[in-house]
Amino acid sequence: MHRSITLKRFLTAVTAASVALLNLTACSGARVLEALAPSESVTVQRDITFDPANGLALDVYRPADAHQAPVVIFFWGGSWQSGNRSTYGFLGRTLASRGLVVVVPDYRTYPAVRYPAFLYDSARAVAWAREHAVDFGGDPARLSLMGHSAGAYNAAMLVADERYLAAVGGNRGWVSAWVGLAGPYDFLPLEDPVLERIFAPAEPPASSQPVSWIDEHVPPTLLVVSEDDPVVDPRNTRRLAERLDRLGVPVEVLRVENLRHVGVVASLSNVFPFDDEVLETVSRFLGHPSASASVRATAD
């Protein structure tokens, strides 16, 4: 048994390193992952404009026979400076093959905008998804948010700070659950000059941090983190989980090894056939968030 676990961890590490070399943000890497993703019984509709004023669009991935399916809105990462929705076809197809309607929207990045403009963009995407969920076979009453890295921050802020959804005529009650993958939730003081410019409008600076807004009304939460993440300090996840736990919010924490930063999101694809713990956990949680969320937020 020990040898089997060691082999799985070795294969996971090798695959995660290969994914990093492919560069998830490059067209070639994205095409490889999407080519490996399930395509049968998955319908894809791309380039749907949801915010014409800012030229923002989204893609929808859904089961061909979707009817009242859970809906998840995925926000991608890139330090609020880069990235785009087209990279994440692998994630959309994989989760759609598991019964979810997946919405992957744009949001504006620096230098075009600074904090908090990208949060209002994200809120508009949520409002669109809720309004149009039925059109794609989704259930607006089972709408979840998910994000990786900077996208996890966006999702966290929408469920923690009610201002953003309120600005689009909604509230946090719209969101039944959320998932954060390798996210920055408590990252002051800023040590990067670009990030300092991005978050300069925040006054006081702590108002830009999800941990500053967390309360007992946050929906059930799943946090996934790789303990060897060199990009976002895993302590961000630990501190957020501890606060959620103290407030009585149902929170589940999945700590993995050897995936580093990019591998956490890349594992929501078919490139980890020997170790699908992240995919299985996320699929279960998004399909039945209220029933599956459990308090496992103990610190290491």
> How high is the pLDDT of residue 276?
87
Cβ distance 111 to 59 under 8 Å?
no
- Per-residue pLDDT of the chain (300 residues), as tens digits, is 445 555 555 655 655 555 555 555 555 555 666 665 666 789 999 999 999 999 999 999 999 999 999 999 999 999 999 999 999 999 999 999 999 999 999 999 999 999 999 999 999 999 999 999 999 999 999 999 999 999 999 999 999 999 999 999 999 999 999 999 999 999 999 999 999 999 999 999 999 999 999 999 999 999 999 999 999 999 999 999 999 999 999 999 999 988 899 989 988 987 666 568 999 999 999 996 544 443 333 333
Cβ distance 164 to 132 under 8 Å?
no
Query: What is the CATH T-level fold of the domain 2-292, as seen in this structure?
Result: Rossmann fold (3.40.50)
> How high is the pLDDT of residue 258?
86
Side chain identity at residue 142, one-letter code: R
**Alpha-helix residue ranges (DSSP H) falling in 161-209:** 163-166, 193-198
pTM for the model = 0.89
Side chain identity at residue 285, one-letter code: F
The span from the CA of 57 to the CA of 282, in Å, is 25
> How high is the pLDDT of residue 1?
47
End-to-end CA distance of the chain: 24
Alpha-carbon separation of residue 153 from 18, 206, 264, 266 (angstroms): 26, 14, 15, 18
Domain boundaries, the chain: 2-292
Looking up tokens 């049968």, which residue turns up?
40
> How high is the pLDDT of residue 289?
57
> How high is the pLDDT of residue 19?
53
